[in-house]
Amino acid sequence: MESLKSEIAATAARMVVEEGLEWGPAKRRAVRQLGLGPRTALPDNDAVEDAVREYLQIFCGDTQPRELAALRRLAAAWMERLALFRPHLCGAVWHGTATRLSDIYLQLFCDDSKSAEIALIERGIAYEPRSVMGFQGEPVEALSLSSRCPELGEHVGVHLLIHDHDDLRGALRPDKRGRQPRGDLAALRSLMAREDHDGRH
């Protein structure tokens, strides 16, 4: 059973890295690709993350760090722009598994759920409203837009997930691996400085 889950995780990881799939769809497609039944037990996200890191190390060691740094700089620019809404970076760009195919996910903690949307309208920024699953397991409003990343020479999806200001209290609890699941601009800058320093030594 565990070896089957590992095979699914490894197949899903390849799709995540090479096609930019989200982890849930990648796991389901991996099951189909491996010819397994729809009731097959899926690996958890930690197993997929480990497989993604292994894949990146083996196949993308010379390109991924630069792509990740470019995405983090773009995320920081948006966090500066949206500072009023207490932006926190999460997902692959925060955890360090992102490539040029990855989108940026920013969680905004707003006093008024419509305030971020109004700010985008006032600045003439085109966006698409949608609903996604929030970190508390319930649907939240998301504003999706496309932003040019000069370093990568292409457009990147930026998704603004709208949370209530009070949700921020529970948002910074460590995950089951003891890591911060998201970080504000100061935390992101600290992470970037640390990795920049490590990269030079």
CA angle 76, 81, 86 (to 5 degrees): 80
Domains defined along the chain, listed by start: 2-59 (no CATH), 64-200 (3.30.460)
Higher pLDDT: 175 or 56? It is 56
Instruction: Give the C-alpha separation, 159 to 93, whole Å.
Output: 12
- pLDDT confidence of 197, banded at 50, 70, 90? confident
Beta carbons within 8 Å of 139's beta carbon, 6+ residues apart = 131, 132, 133
Looking at residue 193, its pLDDT comes to 94
Instruction: Give the C-alpha separation, 145 to 74, whole Å.
Output: 13
Looking at residue 195, its pLDDT comes to 84
- pLDDT confidence of 2, banded at 50, 70, 90? confident
